[in-house]
Amino acid sequence: MITKEEMEHARTVLDREPTETELGMLDVLWSEHCSYKSSKRWFYLFKTKDDSVALGIGEGAGLVDIGDGYFAGVAMESHNHPSQIDPYNGAATGVGGIIRDVISQGCKAVGLMNCLRFGHPSKPHNAYLLENVVRGISEYGNSVGIPVVGGELEFDDSYTDNCLVNVVCVGWVKPELVVRSSAKTPGHYLVMFGSTTGRDGIAGVSFASETFSDDEEENRGAVQIGDPLSKKIVIDTLQELIEERLLDGLQDFGGGGMTSAAGELAKAGGTGVEIDLDKVPLREVDIKPSEIIISESQERMLAVVAPENLDRVVLLLEKNGTPYGIIGKVTNDGHYTAKWYGEVQAHLPINLLVEGFPVPERIEGKVPAQTESMAWFKEPENYKKILLDMLGSVNLCDRSWVYSQYDQHVQSNTVVDLGENSGVLEFPNGRKLAFTSDCNSFWCLLDPQQGTANSACESLRNLVAMGATPIFIADCLNFGNPERPESYCQFVESVRGLGRFSNDFEIPIVGGNVSLYNEAEIEGEIKRINPTPQIMVAGIFEKGFTPVRRNLVSPWANIFLIGDTLPELNGSEFQRITTGQVKGFPPKYRPEVEKRSMRVIKEAHQKGLIRSCNNVGRGGLAVALMKMALRSEYGFKLNLDYIPGAANSLAQKLYSETSGRYLAEVTESNQADFLEIVEKHESSVCELGLTNKEPVADFGAFSLTMDEAREVFSNGLKQFME
Partner 1 sequence: MTIAVLRFPGTNNENDVLRALSLINGANPILVPSRKGLAGLEEADAIVIPGGFSYGDYLRAGAVASVETITEGVRDLAEDGKPVLGICNGFQILTEMGLLPGVLLPNKSARFICKWVYLKVSDHPTMFTEGMEGSIIRVPIAHAEGNYYCSEEERESLKDELRIPFQYCNASGESGLAYNPNGSLDNIAGIINQKGNVLGMMPHPERASRAVLGSTDGLAILENFVRATK
Q: 117 vs 431, which CB is nearer to partner 1?
A: 431
Q: Which of 56, 54, 41, 38 is nearest to 502 (CA)?
A: 56
135: contact with partner 1 by CB under 8 A? yes
DSSP code string of 673-698: HHHHHHHHTT--EEEEEEEESS-EEE
Q: In angstroms, rounded to a whole number, what is the distance separating the alpha carbons of residues 13 and 21?
A: 17
Q: Which residues pair with 539 in a beta bridge?
A: 434, 470
Q: 106 vs 497, which CB is nearer to partner 1?
A: 106
Please list every residue from 23 through 52 that binds partner 1, using CB under 8 A. Answer: none
Q: In angstroms, rounded to a whole number, what is the distance separating the alpha carbons of residues 160 and 446?
A: 19
Q: Considering only residues 210, 240, 426, 486, which one is a binding residue for partner 1 as defined by CB under 8 A?
A: 426
Site stretch for partner 1 (CB under 8 A), options 30-38, 228-236, 285-293, 370-378: 228-236
Q: In angstroms, rounded to a whole number, what is the distance separating the alpha carbons of residues 239 and 172?
A: 12
Site stretch for partner 1 (CB under 8 A), options 72-80, 266-274, 408-416, 506-514: 408-416
Q: Considering only residues 1, 16, 122, 229, which one is a binding residue for partner 1 as defined by CB under 8 A?
A: 229
Q: Which of 33, 81, 188, 347 is catalytic?
A: 33
Measuring CA to CA, how many Å separate 321 from each of 89, 146, 324? 25, 22, 9
Q: Considering only residues 404, 579, 606, 648, which one is a binding residue for partner 1 as defined by CB under 8 A?
A: 404
408: contact with partner 1 by CB under 8 A? yes
409: contact with partner 1 by CB under 8 A? yes
Smallest separation (angstroms) from partner 1 to the CB of 414: 7
144: contact with partner 1 by CB under 8 A? yes
Q: In angstroms, rounded to a whole number, what is the distance separating the alpha carbons of residues 275 and 288?
A: 15
233: contact with partner 1 by CB under 8 A? yes
Q: In angstroms, rounded to a whole number, what is the distance separating the alpha carbons of residues 668 and 644?
A: 21
CA dihedral sign of residues 685, 686, 690, 695: negative
Q: In angstroms, rounded to a whole number, what is the distance separating the alpha carbons of residues 111 and 415?
A: 12
Please list every residue from 319 through 338 that binds partner 1, using CB under 8 A. Answer: 321
Element (H, E) at 164: strand 164-173
Q: In angstroms, rounded to a whole number, what is the distance separating the alpha carbons of residues 383 and 706?
A: 15
Q: 322 vs 437, which CB is nearer to partner 1?
A: 322
No. of helices (H) and no. of strands (E), the chain: 23, 28
33 labelled catalytic: yes
411: contact with partner 1 by CB under 8 A? yes
Smallest separation (angstroms) from partner 1 to the CB of 234: 11
Smallest separation (angstroms) from partner 1 to the CB of 66: 17
Cβ proximity of 147 and 414 under 8 Å: yes
Q: 150 vs 263, which CB is nearer to partner 1?
A: 150
237: contact with partner 1 by CB under 8 A? no
143: contact with partner 1 by CB under 8 A? yes
138: contact with partner 1 by CB under 8 A? yes
CA dihedral sign of residues 712, 714, 717, 721: negative
Q: 5 vs 542, which CB is nearer to partner 1?
A: 542
Site stretch for partner 1 (CB under 8 A), options 272-280, 305-313, 414-422, 565-573: 414-422
Cβ proximity of 568 and 198 under 8 Å: no
Element (H, E) at 206: helix 204-208
Conformation bin of residue 13: beta by default, left when phi > 0, alpha when psi is -120 to 50:
alpha
Q: 23 vs 410, which CB is nearer to partner 1?
A: 410
Q: 260 vs 408, which CB is nearer to partner 1?
A: 408
Q: Which of 9, 79, 81, 605 is catalytic?
A: 79
145: contact with partner 1 by CB under 8 A? yes
Pairing between β-strand 414-416 and β-strand 423-426 as defined by DSSP bridges: antiparallel
Element (H, E) at 287: none
Site stretch for partner 1 (CB under 8 A), options 210-218, 226-234, 269-277, 687-695: 226-234
Q: 314 vs 410, which CB is nearer to partner 1?
A: 410
Q: Which residues bind partner 1 (CB under 8 A)?
A: 135, 138-139, 142-145, 227-229, 232-233, 321, 403-415, 417, 426
Active-site residue list: 33, 79
